[in-house]
Amino acid sequence: MIKKILIANRGEIAIRVMNSCREMGILSVAVYSEADRNSLHVRYADEAYCIGPAPSNQSYLDLEKIIETAKKSGADAIHPGYGFLSENAAFSERCKKEGIIFIGPDAHAINTMGDKITARKTMLAAGVPVVPGTTEPIVDLDEAVKTIVEIGLPVMVKASAGGGGKGMRLVEKEEDILSSVKAAKSEALAAFGNDAVYIEKYINSPHHIEFQILADQHGNCIHLFERECSVQRRHQKVVEETPSPIMTPEVREEMGRHAVAAAKAVNYAGAGTIEFITDDQLNYYFLEMNTRLQVEHPITEQVVGVDLVREQINIANGEKLRYRQEDLSQHGHAIETRIYAEDTDNNFMPSPGKINHIHFPLGAGVRHDTYAYNGYEIPIYYDPMISKLVVWGNNREEAIGRMKRALGSYKISGVKTSIPFLSRIMDVPDFKKGGYTTHFIQNHTEALKSKDSCSEECSDLAAITAFVDFLKKQERAKPASNGKAPASQWKAFGRKKAVTRL
Ligand code: MV4
């Protein structure tokens, strides 16, 4: 039985994992870089160890250092969170060799899904629909032209070692095929040290719909329905929701079965996500599998009522799944917005710096996963996401209203954030309608622009005015210079009129 878990991550996800550990009576060990000494996950853990300098490759990506720390602290398992070492097959393998439980899938599953060409072949063999295209790497360039003309333009050229939009190229004209394939190959070689590329038919106006799955080590696998993640900017998700507004019960059931088949095809164990791309007719195709817990996992937790981290730990302990497929259903609607320290009016430039004051939204149906606190200085070395705001409502309309309200009562000063931008998304009629595609943000740049040219200054001024007011009141409350006690403000107030109690 796992008694102590080292969390090989930082930020909100480290805290999220520690929460489940604490609820399960498991001790948590934090690791941190020199830039993260004041990070909340360090204080939140039962123990914490500095593992190196700020750059990730000298700390959060330093496999040796993390293994060494796990041994030193007596942790019997490692949770990798997302990003960093979470999809590193060598790390999963190394943990196993060292007798440390890796809370995630084995190297075979990570490798098979990590190589997109192998993943496509494996899915085809398992009867999971993949985007029409090639299943072998493009070697001969003349052959490539023939193949692409056969598939029919437009196509996507994708790096086999890529994923998440890295090393992708759209080809629309026949005369561009050669140069695009060449460029994709050299880009892939530079980025991944592997120049294998494959071809997919281009899906116009796509929707990104992913399925959460859980699989135990005994061959049982269930899905926890879908998440709609089509609101993206430069392959970064901005808003996620569940259920998907375009889903039907029939397609959901079929996609869910295919998601389970996909996981079973690699003998998956743990929590994972099958990404599908769909067209407007809800034809769907496997895109890739993320072999880790995802940023947006909380919306599934809110609607399905399952703690995914707890289940990851149970699975790692060798337990059988506690849920059967028929035990699970979707209840209500959840939306997540990702709050970044960035200037959305200035090309989404990161806005690191000190959070002077932060006030979180509260109230019914609001969940806030964060590591931010008053006075925290956001380091420049890592992803500038400061929090995830998750709301639940009985239905989509209620959830959107709740998100608007929560974003409106969220106050951060000191750094610029994406809060006003996210709030505007909630107002866009095409978002409210729900049939949006992955082009949503680029199609609504005008509506999403800040209309209030002095919003920052106005709110700063309001804050300063309120503060000066406060100082004045404090001044009035001081003892008078003649040494006599000051006149009570309460008495003065009481004399004017009776207090109305509400
Ligand atoms: C595609 C596509 C259209 N056709 N593949 C981008 C991220 C990576 N996971 C796959 N991506 C795409 N693959 C074919 N055959 C369009 C995209 C795409 C996209 C997909 C999901 C969410 C947002 C996107 C934004 C631009 C392009």
If asked whether residues 73 and 160 sit together in one domain, one would say no
| pLDDT at position 482 | 62
474 C-alpha vs ligand 1 centroid, how far in Å? 58
Phi, psi for residue 451 in degrees, rounded to 5: -95, -25
> Is 450 inside a domain boundary?
no
> Is 15 inside a domain boundary?
yes
Q: Which of 277, 296, 441 to mutate to test the pocket of ligand 1 (most atoms within 8 A of CB)?
A: 277
> Is 260 inside a domain boundary?
no
Q: Compute the distance between CA of residue 321 and CA of residue 500 in angstroms, rounded to an integer.
A: 57
Confidence check: pLDDT of 122 > 50: yes
Atom 20 in ligand 1: residue holding the nearest Cα: 208
If asked whether residues 11 and 99 sit together in one domain, one would say yes
Quote the mean pLDDT of the chain. Answer: 93
Query: What's the CATH code of the domain at 351?
Result: 3.30.470.20
Q: Compute the distance between CA of residue 471 and CA of residue 23 in angstroms, rounded to an integer.
A: 43
> Is 190 inside a domain boundary?
yes
Q: Is the CB of 235 under 6 A from ligand 1?
A: yes
> Is 208 inside a domain boundary?
no
Predicted structure pTM score? 0.91
Nearest atom in ligand 1 to the alpha carbon of residue 165 is 7
Q: Is the CB of 157 under 6 A from ligand 1?
A: no
Nearest atom in ligand 1 to the alpha carbon of residue 288 is 9
| SS3 assignment for 186-201 | HHHHHHHCCCCEEEEE
Q: Is the CB of 277 under 6 A from ligand 1?
A: yes
Lowest mean pLDDT among 129-143, 180-194, 357-371, 442-456: 442-456
If asked whether residues 391 and 461 sit together in one domain, one would say no
List the one residue out of 317, 274, 310, 378 whose CA is nearest residue 12: 378
Confidence check: pLDDT of 476 > 70: yes
pLDDT greater at residue 481 or residue 280: 280
Atom 11 in ligand 1: residue holding the nearest Cα: 165
Confidence check: pLDDT of 497 > 50: no
pLDDT tens across 232-263, in order?
999 999 999 999 999 999 999 999 999 999 99
Q: Which of 240, 287, 439, 440 to mutate to test the pocket of ligand 1 (most atoms within 8 A of CB)?
A: 287
Q: Compute the distance between CA of residue 462 and CA of residue 464 in angstroms, rounded to an integer.
A: 6
Query: What's the CATH code of the domain at 177?
Result: 3.30.1490.20
| pLDDT at position 352 | 87
Cβ atoms < 10 Å from Cβ of 453: 9
Mean pLDDT, range 23-30, rounded to an integer: 98
Q: Is the CB of 15 under 6 A from ligand 1?
A: no
Query: What's the CATH code of the domain at 35?
Result: 3.40.50.20
119 C-alpha vs ligand 1 centroid, how far in Å? 16
CB 292 within 8 A of CB 272: yes
Q: Is the CB of 287 under 6 A from ligand 1?
A: yes
Confidence check: pLDDT of 14 > 90: yes
Which of 152, 182, 201 marks a domain boundary?
A: 201
Which of 154, 175, 201 marks a domain boundary?
A: 201
Which of 376, 406, 427 marks a domain boundary?
A: 427
Mean pLDDT, range 274-290, rounded to an integer: 96
Q: Are strands 101-102 and 27-33 parallel, antiparallel or unpaired?
A: unpaired
> Is 287 inside a domain boundary?
no
How many separate domains does the chain show?
Answer: 4
Could you tell me the CA-to-CA distances from 63 to 2, 56, 93, 294 in Å, in that order?
21, 11, 11, 21
pLDDT bracket for residue 492 (50, 70, 90): very low
Sign of CA dihedral 163, 445, 430, 242: positive
| Structural domain span for residue 182 | 132-201
Nearest atom in ligand 1 to the alpha carbon of residue 200 is 15
Q: Is the CB of 202 under 6 A from ligand 1?
A: yes
Confidence check: pLDDT of 28 > 90: yes
If asked whether residues 362 and 408 sit together in one domain, one would say yes
Mean pLDDT, range 213-237, rounded to an integer: 98
If asked whether residues 12 and 97 sit together in one domain, one would say yes
Mean pLDDT, range 300-304, rounded to an integer: 98
| pLDDT at position 70 | 98
> Is 295 inside a domain boundary?
no
Mean pLDDT, range 481-494, rounded to an integer: 51
Q: Is the CB of 232 under 6 A from ligand 1?
A: yes
Tokens representing residue 20 in the block: 């489940």
Atom 6 in ligand 1: residue holding the nearest Cα: 165
Whose tokens are 């084995």? That residue is: 106
Q: Which positions ≥6 away from 438 have C-beta within 8 Å?
A: 205, 206, 207, 208, 230, 232
Cβ atoms < 10 Å from Cβ of 335: 24
> Is 232 inside a domain boundary?
no
Q: Compute the distance between CA of residue 290 and CA of residue 167 in angstroms, rounded to an integer.
A: 17
CB 158 within 8 A of CB 181: no
pLDDT bracket for residue 452 (50, 70, 90): low
Confidence check: pLDDT of 8 > 80: yes
